[in-house]
Every structure is written in structure tokens, then in C-alpha cells.
Structure 1
Amino acid sequence: MNTVQPIRDPAMIEEIKEFFQADCERNRMMFVFGINTGYRIQDMLKLRKRDVMGDHIIMTEMKTGKKKWLQINPTLKRELKQYTADMSDDDYLFPSREGKNRPIKRDMAYKIMRKAAAHFGLKDIGCHTMRKTFGYHMYQRTKDVTLLRKMFNHSSDSITMGYIGMDQDRMDAAMNRFGL
């Protein structure tokens, strides 16, 4: 399995949103949803409109089997309201064009992310990039690794720091200051 990186640059995040907007609203919403929730792609794809209309998203994670409550932030709430306006409650958030009321599959989500990566010349980008981007920016704003560890259900703060790319950032900064 390839290791992916978070998107660290906020300007690049906005460019990717614009790229997806021009391509497909569903793809843009998938990206916006992923970077605002930190959900794994398999958990995102199973969601329907009815799951995201309250103040919280309540779900059982597929990987861990743990129940998770996540408050929908104001940015995502606004985006979801507009995106789901013409959907019925049973519609999947990220519908496939194949078959009636089916979500896209994980491999299609990966192709969507790879299309943006190719367009912008980004490396180490995949579906998990959205989750890591959420984590990276949540940490940058809160500096609370323990909170983020709990949100991700990680076993230690050090795992979370490595996961969101902070270890790499610190090594890069140290090397920039180093020289003999």
C-alpha cells in the first residue's frame, strides 16, 4: 500500500476545489466532505442525505466498528445544504452514474483523487489524502494532538503525528537548519 500525504497548502486546497467544481459537483463535494470530516473513504461512501442533515453525523466506522459522533462544522453544513437541496433523504451523497441510487465505489473515488493529483502535479495523493489533510490542518489550528488522536481512534499521539505528516515536516525543518 502506498503512503499518501496531506495537502499542506491552503491555496492548493482551494485550487483543487475549483478544479473539481469545473469537473463535477459530486467530486468537489466528496473532496470538501473528506477534508472537513477526516472520514475514511469507505465510511464516506455509505452515507446518504438523511445521515448528514442534523448537527452531527453519527455512524459506526467500518474499520474499527466503533460508533463515532462528529459535529458538522459551519463550512460543511453550508456546502451540504446547497449540494443536497434536490436530493431525497435516501439518496447517497456520492452517487454512481451506474445503477439506480448506488454510491460510487472506492476505486472510482481513487481515480477522482488521482485526476486532481495529475492535473496539479501532486505526488503521494489518494483517497486517504483527504483524511490526512483534515488531520494536518486540524492540528495546525488546535495544536491538540490528543484531541486529533481521539478523533482518529489512534493508539498514541506519536502515531497521529507521523500519520498527519508532522514528523516529516519537523525532519525537513531540521535539515534546513543543518549544515556542516
Structure 2
Amino acid sequence: MRNVQPIRRLDQIEKMKKALLKYCSYRDYMMFSIGINIGLRIGDLLQLRVNDILGGTHIVIIEQKTEKTKRFLVNPQLRKEVRRYTKHAKLSASDYLFPSRKGAGPITRVQAYRILNKAAEMAGVQDVGTHTLRKTFGYLHYQKFKDLALLQQILNHSNPKDTMIYIGLTQDLMDETLMDFYF
């Protein structure tokens, strides 16, 4: 199993976005953008419908993995971007946000993985998988707010250590200490 990492640098996030728009599609760009901004697991993200995001101020879902109800605020910038996308893609309120080109359902996890890896290859970003979206959300949220307890709650982790490992902080700290460790 590959070691999937968060995308830690903003310039790499921008490269991913550009690659998704250039080599994939607007839909795929939106999957990435929404994924790194709300931190849902890929299975929950792919099940979102237009109305889930545009129907109110929050997304309310039952998480597939935990079967717990989760409520996420959708910030105004993301909501505006989703409106622009749904208008461009001619999606109705009941449509999946990320519709498959083959059939009535959303794209699959496998297809999402292929899309993200294609964009990552074009952008020169390594260690990308479907979990990268959620891990990137967690990493950036922690970098901005420095509140591990809150992030643990948002990600539904049982302890802070799991959250630190999940978002790559443990590896970052080890690397940082070893960089200057020489006798």
C-alpha cells in the first residue's frame, strides 16, 4: 500500500488545480477543490449532490465509514465556486456534484483515484491518492489554526496522536529534528 501524503505546499495545490483544469475537467477540479476545503472522506464526497452544498449554509451527511451524522459549514467562497460550476455543468439540485459520464451515478472511487494521479503526474506532485484531499484539508487546517483538538473532532479521530500521524505532522516533526541532528 502506498504512503499517501497531504499536499503541504500552496504552490503544489495550485499546480494540481491547473493540471486538473488542463488535463482533466472542471468537474475533476471541483472534486479536488471541494475535497481540500471540507475534508470529507472520498466516499462521502462523491455522494454529494448539488443541493447538499447549495441548499443551506451547511452540508449534513451520514458518514459512510462511521455512520455518524456530520455537519460542515460551506464557506461563501466555496459556495460561490460551486454555483459557478453547477451553472457551467448544467446540474440540477438533485444531481450528483461529480456525475459519471457513464450512467446516472457519481464517479467511482477508482475513477477519482485515476483522475488525481493523472493530475499529480502532470503537476509533479508525489504520494497522491484519494485520501490526499482529506489529509490536505487536515494539514492546512492545522497550519492555519494550530488547534489539534478541534481538528481531531472535525476528522472524527479518537485521539490526537492519530490526527498528527494522519496529517503528516509526526513525519514533519521527525524530519525537522533530524535535519539539525549531527554530531
TM-score with structure 2 length normalisation? 0.94
Query: Equivalent residue for 1:11?
Result: 11
- CA displacement at 1:155 relative to structure 2: 0.6
- Matched letter for residue 101 of structure 2: R
CA distance in 1, matches of 2:45, 2:20: 17
Query: Equivalent residue for 1:82?
Result: 84
Query: Equivalent residue for 2:160?
Result: 157
Query: Equivalent residue for 1:167?
Result: 170
Report matched runs for 1:31-180 at 5 Å: 31-53=32-54, 54-85=56-87, 86-99=90-103, 101-180=104-183
Which stretches in structure 1 are left out of the alignment for 5+ residues? none
Q: Contact 2:40 / 2:134 at 8 angstroms: preserved in 1? A: yes
Q: Helix, strand or coil for the counterpart of 2:18?
A: helix
Deviation per residue, 1:26-50 (Å, 9 max, x gap): 0000000100011111001111111
Query: Equivalent residue for 2:21?
Result: 21
- Matched letter for residue 12 of structure 1: Q
- CA displacement at 1:81 relative to structure 2: 1.1
Q: Helix, strand or coil for the counterpart of 1:84?
A: helix
CA distance in 2, matches of 1:121, 1:28: 16
- CA displacement at 1:74 relative to structure 2: 2.4
Query: Equivalent residue for 1:2?
Result: 2
Q: CA RMSD in A?
A: 1.0
Larger mean CA deviation between 33-42 and 70-79 belongs to 70-79
- CA displacement at 1:87 relative to structure 2: 1.3
CA distance in 1, matches of 2:4, 2:128: 5
- Matched letter for residue 66 of structure 2: T
TM-score with structure 1 length normalisation? 0.96
CA distance in 1, matches of 2:62, 2:11: 33
- Matched letter for residue 45 of structure 1: L
Following TM superposition, the consecutive aligned residue runs of length 4 or more in structure 1 with deviations greater than 6 angstroms are: none
CA distance in 2, matches of 1:179, 1:78: 50
CA distance in 2, matches of 1:74, 1:145: 24
Deviation per residue, 1:52-77 (Å, 9 max, x gap): 11110000000000000000022211
CA distance in 2, matches of 1:11, 1:75: 19
